Homo-oligomer: A and B are copies of this chain.
Amino acid sequence: MESAIPKHLQTARSRHRRVGDDYSPPYPSFVARHKPKVANVVMAYFGLQYRGDPPAAAGALLAAIAARLADANGPSHWDRAHHVDQAGYSNVVSVAYWDDVAKFDAWFAPAREAWTGQRSDGVGRYIEVLRPSVARYETLFSSPDRAEGVAVIADGMSGEIQEHAYWGGMRDRIPLSQTSEMVASGKPSLVREGQRLHVIAHDNLCLIRSGQDWSDTEASERRMYLEDVEPVLREGMDFLRDQGTSIGCYANRYMQVLGSDGAPIEKSYGQSWWHGISALERWAESHPTHVRIFGAAMKYLSTLGPAAKLRLYHEVTVAAADEQFFEYADCHPRTGMLAAVETVAA
């Protein structure tokens, strides 16, 4: 058993973990490990938004960004997913990961200009980027043999880690929690730059991407996921999407992952922006839908352990103010972090 916090990021603590040194989790979990030389990663969400059938411009934009993502300075990994938002718009989001900020910076300017720099009738575009220090995020995987999201660009997976399967494990896995409460402060504000809208958020804004992969499940396990787990998960996702702002969730997207041919595959993830990690903790612990999900997962993984074919993972980031970038063009006013600012004239 090892700590979720890699050795090179372990520091003298001013804040304690929630569990004692003798804590032993009831089932195994794993985290992504980067090479120690990796200082920051980049998580970039390129969203495209339209109502009804995809306009012709949408296909062209998606093809163009896919081509750019394949550039030499492009990401080490990217994926694409779809959801219908609370305003009834379709959103296709391409999520890309770098572990070299210089490469991202070299790549980004023309990609940004192509994505949000021109008008595109009937198609909204947005860019949401975090470039967190590796001390500011954590991952968690129920199985070590299939990476997702930022973990795909890591050096590999850890062995079994200690800090999981209890409330507070998420915080305890983030290296910065050794010395910081990671308190969120401030309110998001809006800045216009031509037709682009920027949201300037605040220190310790929190992002979670939390996914499930049922592609390997069979028979009873598949039925269990689709009939017992997924509807409860969806209920929780809908709550966050529609009523999240009341509890500090600025925006939530329950994404259906798309394969390389653009068709849905048997993976999904929830992606949400939070005022801070405390708000995310409180929701996770107290909202009936998430408590049910957690309870079901605990029971399930305690029984099946690594034999489970359903794969669960997440990545959670607490970003410094200068590690964030939010840009929206031709989007409806409840899109992503636009929903976090009080009045928006789109």
Show the binding face of A for B, using Cβ within 8 Å.
15-16, 18-20, 23, 26, 165-168, 181, 183, 278, 281-282, 285-286, 288, 291-292, 294-295, 298-299
8 Å CB contact of A298 from B26, B288, B295: B288
A89 to B20, CA, bound (A): 37
By beta carbon, the residue of chain B nearest A23 is B278
Q: Is A20's CB under 8 angstroms from B183's CB?
A: yes
8 Å CB contact of A278 from B19, B165, B278: B19
Q: Is A168's CB under 8 angstroms from B168's CB?
A: yes
Distance to closest chain B CB from A300 (angstroms)? 11
Copies in the complex: 2
Q: Is A167's CB under 8 angstroms from B19's CB?
A: no
Q: Is B16's CB under 8 angstroms from A15's CB?
A: yes
Chain B residues within 8 Å of A168, by CB:
18, 167-168
Given that A295-B291, A299-B288 are contacting pairs, would A16 and B19 also be in contact in the complex, using a CB cutoff of 8 Å? Answer: no
By beta carbon, the residue of chain B nearest A276 is B20
Highest count of chain B CB atoms <10 Å: which of A26, A181, A286, A291? A286
Distance to closest chain B CB from A275 (angstroms)? 10
Q: Is B288's CB under 8 angstroms from A181's CB?
A: no
8 Å CB contact of A285 from B167, B278, B292: B167
Chain B residues within 8 Å of A298, by CB:
286, 288, 291
A266 to B20, CA, bound (A): 39
By beta carbon, the residue of chain B nearest A296 is B288
Q: 27 A-B residue contacts at CB 8 Å?
A: A15-B16, A16-B16, A16-B181, A18-B18, A18-B168, A19-B278, A20-B181, A23-B278, A23-B282, A26-B286, A165-B286, A166-B167, A166-B281, A166-B282, A166-B285, A166-B286, A167-B167, A167-B168, A168-B168, A286-B298, A288-B295, A288-B298, A288-B299, A291-B291, A291-B294, A291-B295, A295-B295
Chain B residues within 8 Å of A291, by CB:
291, 294-295, 298
Distance to closest chain B CB from A74 (angstroms)? 39
